[in-house]
Chain A
Amino acid sequence: MPMPAAEIERIIKAALPDAVVELTALADDDDHWAAKVVSESFRGLSRVRQHQLVNAAFGNRLGTELHALALTTSAP
């Protein structure tokens, strides 16, 4: 089941209100996305911890509703 860009951005910003989110479609199916997320919350965290913050925002919708989200994360 696909997830549109606006919904992905909404979910990420609900968890990380200061996040700047840049989405790129990896396929033309609303189901494979690359997201670049910049947030102050990431500062000092390992990349794994940064990604886990974003993944946690989606809960079990990641891997079910949203098939693939390739992440790039950084602090501003």
Chain B
Amino acid sequence: MATDVNSKIKNVIESSDVVLFMKGTPEAPQCGFSMQVVQILNHVGAPYKAINVLADPEIREGIKAFSNWPTIPQLYVKNEFIGGCDITREMFQSGELVALFDKEGVPHKQAAKA
């Protein structure tokens, strides 16, 4: 049932400050776009929870409806949908991603930009 999937997704998103829905695992991404987001998060050094949507067809379809976003990966910070690969990369390059982590109290290894 759709409601069950939605509450399942909601629980996952609330279970960690940073949640990445991706294809494959951080150790073995199955898609170049998922890999890029993993690389960014690893580079920034923020702890995150990765959900492999390939291992759960229900979540794989459910997450797209949940966020009204057609593609995976999807990055959530503090229950808020931030974006997919393009947006995450753009925000990382502009410094907005680190600024967001600072604002939300997410620990990371990057020195704050002056």
Contacts and interface: CB of A to CB of B under 8 A. Distances in A.
A48 B90 contact: no
Contacts of A52: 68-69
Interface string B60-79: 00000001111000000000
Interface in B73-114: 81-83, 86-87, 90-91
Contacts, number: 21
A47 B87 contact: yes
Contacts of A47: 83, 87, 90-91
19 contacts: A47-B83, A47-B87, A47-B90, A47-B91, A48-B67, A48-B69, A48-B81, A48-B83, A48-B87, A51-B83, A52-B68, A52-B69, A55-B70, A62-B70, A63-B70, A70-B86, A71-B86, A72-B86, A72-B90
Contacts of B87: 47-48, 51
Contacts of B68: 52
Interface residues of A, number: 10
B72 to A, nearest CB: 12
Interface in A28-76: 47-48, 51-52, 55, 62-63, 70-72
